[in-house]
Amino acid sequence: MITIKNVTKTYGSKQGAVKAVDNVNIDINDGEIFGVIGYSGAGKSTLIRMLNGLEIPTDGSIKVAGREISHIKGAKLRKARQEISMIFQHFNLLWSRTVTDNIAFPLEIAGVPKKKRMQRVKELISLVGLDGRENAYPSQLSGGQKQRVGIARALANNPKVLLCDEATSALDPQTTDSILELLVDINKRLGLTIVLITHEMHVIRKICHRVAVMEGGNIVETGPVLQVFKNPKQQITKRFVQQVTEPEETKDTIEHLLSRYPHGQVIQLTFVGEGAEQPLITNLIRQFPITVNILQGKISQTQNGSYGTLFIHLDGEEEDLQKALSYISSQGVGMEVISNG
């Protein structure tokens, strides 16, 4: 659905040039939910704005639904942009217009006759769950409801691709979840391709099929979400994965475990799939003359399956512990040694 080939975007003059996006290559499939994660300044907004034709690449090409959008202008660009819609962190609604009028706006611009327009708005309002709020103004809506208007407006002209620019970053966790669920529902029902940018790994984990990690304008790592969680290769990816696998309470957990187990080694495992840790633990006990204590763990269910973390404590002769650790690291689970007493 989207092909990004050797795309570079440089801002400014030669002396003060900033390479915001540096030779990026991504292929996004039809019907896929694709996430791009990175810290502030990584180049995410620049990349997503180029997908929408809002920014022109300095080099390279971008095709959406088979059509080149990177270096076209005027009527051609307008036509191409009908297939791509965008929602924003701060919703970008028309504050002086009602919910109905906000959603009808792109249809008005496209010249859809009034009766048809109102019919379409009714469908969209029901699709995003805003029944009863037709005549409200944005100032009378909650953040989540405002984003629902944004989504309905973005879908008005039946786009093939929906771009989400930090679409849940201004929302509380519960509202974020409900908006992410709506995006999944839309993806399934309409077969819409979704590209989202975020700095929050829980958003990626909840709804994305694949993820690209961006740093300094480059894509440094990409793959299916479960695979990236299971085996993050880059340091930055590990940090993002830990955002989700190490919630606030983990710090206390670690301190508590260290005080309880001053000898031997406390290890944190990150694994994908329910029960995935069981064969590993069984093999550890069977194959090595060490003591294995299972301390505490947590399994989380997500859109893409389940994943979990587990703390274990190993004790025994140094040589046997080393062998056990190399065995664990050969098993494709995430492993971090917390203590080395």
198 near ligand ADP, judged by CB under 6 A: no
- Angle, in degrees to the nearest 10, between helices 143-155 and 173-190: 20
By CB under 6 A, is residue 42 in contact with ligand ADP?
yes
Verify binding: residue 236, ligand ADP, rule CB under 6 A: no
Strands (E), 131-233: 161-165, 193-198, 210-215, 218-224
Q: In what order do the strands lie in the sheet with 2-11?
A: 18-28, 2-11, 59-64, 67-68
CA-CA-CA-CA dihedral for 180, 186, 191, 192, to nearest 10: -70
Stretch of 39-47, 75-83, 87-95, 121-129 lying at the interface with ligand ADP (CB under 6 A): 39-47
Q: How far is CA 3 from the centre of its chain?
A: 19
Q: Tokens 């996430």 map to which residue?
A: 35
For residue 149, give the nearest of 161, 163, 135, 159 by alpha carbon. Answer: 135
> Which residue in 1, 34, 43, 103 binds ligand ADP (CB under 6 A)?
43
Nearest CB to ligand ADP, comparing residues 44 and 81: 44
Strands (E), the chain: 2-11, 18-28, 33-37, 59-64, 67-68, 84-88, 161-165, 193-198, 210-215, 218-224, 265-272, 291-302, 305-315, 334-337
Binding-site member from 7, 20, 104, 203 for ligand ADP (CB under 6 A): 20
Contacts with ligand ADP by CB under 6 A: the residue count is: 12
Work out whether 44 is an interface residue with ligand ADP (CB under 6 A). yes
Q: How far is the CB of 217 from ligand ADP (least distance, A)?
A: 7
The CA distance from 126 to 152, in Å, is 9
Residue among 17, 29, 30, 41 that touches ligand ADP (CB under 6 A): 41
Q: How many CB atoms lie within 10 A of CB 238?
A: 15
In angstroms, rounded to a whole number, what is the distance separating the alpha carbons of residues 94 and 80?
24
Task: Look at residues 96, 30, 44 and name the one whose alpha carbon lies nearest to residue 200.
Answer: 44
Least distance to ligand ADP from the beta carbon of 59, Å?
15
Closest approach of ligand ADP to the CB of residue 56, in Å: 12
Residue number with CB closer to ligand ADP (11 or 296): 11
Q: Interface with ligand ADP includes 38 (CB under 6 A)?
A: yes
Asked if 52 touches ligand ADP (CB under 6 A), the answer is no
Query: Residue 45 CB, nearest distance to ligand ADP (Å)?
Result: 3
Q: How far is the CB of 110 from ligand ADP (least distance, A)?
A: 29
CB-wise, 42 or 51, nearer to ligand ADP? 42
205 binds ligand ADP (CB under 6 A): no
Q: How many CA atoms are closer than 13 Å to the CA of 190, on its beta-carbon side?
A: 22
CB of 54 to ligand ADP, least distance (A): 11
The one among 12, 224, 279, 341 contacting ligand ADP by CB under 6 A: 12
Residue 46 interacting with ligand ADP (CB under 6 A):
yes
Pairing type for strands 33-37 and 193-198 reads parallel
Taking CB under 6 A as the binding criterion, the range among 10-18, 60-68, 119-127, 228-236 that sits at the site for ligand ADP is 10-18
**In the complex, what is the shortest distance from the CB of residue 138 to ligand ADP, in angstroms, rounded to a whole number?**
25
State yes or no: residue 195 binds ligand ADP (CB under 6 A): no
By the rule CB under 6 A, 18 interacts with ligand ADP: yes
Q: Is 196 in the site for ligand ADP (CB under 6 A)?
A: no
Q: Taking the CA atoms of the chain, what radius of gyration do you get in angstroms?
A: 24
Q: What's the closest the beta carbon of residue 165 comes to ligand ADP, in angstroms?
A: 8
49-51-53 Cα angle (round to 5): 70
The binding site for ligand ADP (CB under 6 A) comprises 11-12, 18, 20, 38, 40-46
